[in-house]
């Protein structure tokens, strides 16, 4: 009996100490896909402002600016290096390698620096033989490249669609998904397939976000063109899986402040990923205020994960709404026209329960009023008015 007890104690002790030894490995395992990007990813991407003109100094400075500007404090997390970070050729072992002149310290050192700021690093490749700018890409190298990304400490992969050889999109993206999962590292998977094969029908089971359109341009016309293509897609979005109308152009100079504010507000109500694309080191205070509007961001990041949708279209005047987890509604009045316009809608028309009074809070002026249900504003040309509405009788 004593021998049995001694053996049991020895066995339990062995299991305990083995558990301690293995704990770091167990807890570093990849979070399941349904635990990643439960709200739309927020961060910054190099492409819209810098294109191929990138290097490790820039990325380090952007990470620093994300912290000092207050962007990190409101939820911006990912610093994503887009195309052109690679050397022109793979190394002798067949691995992707960073350009030795622009990224002499390598991606691992850069990831370590970004992580030291409390941020996460993203990187870029393509589901083709070359990236869009002609650098080595990951088609038929998925397992090897995914292992290298994980080894470097990458947290986010933007995966493009150039030089795809006409091969089936679902198979190409599915293969990278499996390769990423096999690494054991939690890596958000951003599918940049341009909406060519209706990715909203299949990408929710493969990636965390998927592009619904071609590339965004730095103009109001591009914003409106992309917005129109989001109509009807809200039913495909959910926590962990998001329609992506492309990265933000706020602060890049192609639009007025009114248009920039409208662009940001629309992306917030669409539950779109908020990936800034401007030079964070030198942005104006107005641009910073747009990108860090906590009340608009709270709408975007609402845990219910419902994508906003259009409920009224009267030519140049539109009304978009987004039901929120609390029972509140976000309401956006959009004026696409060339002159200011008065836009009004009643709370009952957006689906809110009947009540004697409603609190209507303007998310840009940060002022609120109590009404009988009337939600209204004079909206400037190419502008928006954005509100959060709840009935006074609703539980808070």
DSSP letter (8 states) at residue 255 = S
Rounded CA separation 136/131 (Å): 6
Cβ pair 320, 331 in contact under 8 A: yes
Catalytic annotation, pick one of 160, 246, 279, 328: 160
Do the strands 341-346 and 309-314 form a parallel or antiparallel pair, or are they unpaired? unpaired
Is position 112 annotated as part of the catalytic site?
Answer: no
Copy the structure tokens of residue 21. Answer: 């030894």
Phi, psi of 152 (to 5 degrees): -75, -20
Cβ pair 180, 189 in contact under 8 A: yes
Mapped onto helix, strand or coil, the DSSP state of residue 175 is helix
Copy the structure tokens of residue 239. Answer: 């926590």
Helix (H) or strand (E) holding 146: helix 142-152
Copy the structure tokens of residue 71. Answer: 């962007």
Helix (H) or strand (E) holding 222: helix 220-228
Mapped onto helix, strand or coil, the DSSP state of residue 260 is helix
Cβ pair 321, 331 in contact under 8 A: yes
Residue 32 CB-density burial (10 A; 0-12 exposed, 13-18 middle, 19+ buried): exposed
Q: Within a 10 A sphere around the Cβ of 249, how many other Cβ atoms?
A: 25
DSSP letter (8 states) at residue 307 = P
Is position 160 annotated as part of the catalytic site?
Answer: yes
Q: Within a 10 A sphere around the Cβ of 292, how many other Cβ atoms?
A: 17
Q: How many residues does the chain have?
A: 396
Active-site residue list: 160, 215
């Amino acid at each position: 009996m004593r021998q049995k007890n001694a053996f049991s104690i020895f066995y339990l002790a062995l299991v305990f100490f083995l558990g301690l030894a293995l704990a770091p490995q167990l807890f570093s395992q990849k979070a399941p896909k349904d635990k990643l990007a439960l709200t739309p990813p927020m961060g910054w991407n190099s492409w819209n402002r810098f294109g191929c003109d990138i290097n490790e100094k820039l990325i380090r400075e952007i990470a620093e600016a994300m912290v000092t500007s207050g962007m990190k404090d409101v939820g911006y997390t990912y610093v994503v290096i887009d195309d052109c970070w690679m050397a022109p050729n793979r190394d002798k072992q067949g691995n992707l390698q960073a350009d030795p002149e622009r990224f002499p310290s390598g991606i691992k050192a850069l990831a370590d620096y970004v992580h030291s700021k409390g941020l996460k690093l993203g990187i870029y490749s393509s589901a083709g033989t070359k990236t869009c700018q002609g650098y080595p890409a990951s088609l038929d190298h998925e397992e090897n490249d995914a292992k290298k990304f994980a080894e470097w400490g990458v947290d986010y992969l933007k995966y493009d669609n150039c030089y795809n050889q006409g091969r089936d999109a679902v198979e190409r993206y599915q293969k990278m998904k499996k390769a990423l999962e096999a690494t054991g590292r939690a890596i958000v998977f951003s599918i940049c397939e341009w909406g060519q094969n209706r990715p909203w029908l299949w990408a929710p089971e493969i990636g965390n976000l998927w592009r619904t359109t071609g590339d965004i341009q730095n103009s109001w016309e591009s914003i409106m063109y992309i917005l129109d293509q989001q109509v009807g897609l809200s039913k495909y979005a959910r926590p962990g899986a998001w329609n992506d109308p492309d990265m933000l152009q706020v602060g890049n100079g192609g639009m007025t402040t009114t248009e920039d504010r409208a662009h940001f507000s629309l992306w917030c109500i669409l539950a779109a990923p908020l990936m800034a694309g401007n030079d964070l080191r030198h942005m104006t205070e107005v641009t910073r205020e747009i990108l860090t509007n906590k009340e608009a961001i709270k709408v975007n990041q609402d845990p219910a994960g419902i994508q906003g949708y259009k409920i009224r279209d009267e030519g140049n005047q539109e009304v978009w709404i987004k039901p929120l987890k609390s029972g509140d509604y976000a309401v956006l009045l959009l004026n696409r026209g060339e002159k200011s316009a008065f836009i009004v809608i009643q709370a009952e028309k957006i689906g809110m329960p009947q009540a004697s009074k409603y609190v209507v809070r303007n998310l840009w002026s940060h002022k609120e009023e109590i009404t009988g249900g009337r939600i209204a504003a004079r909206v400037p040309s190419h502008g928006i008015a954005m509100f959060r509405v709840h009935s006074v009788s609703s539980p808070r």
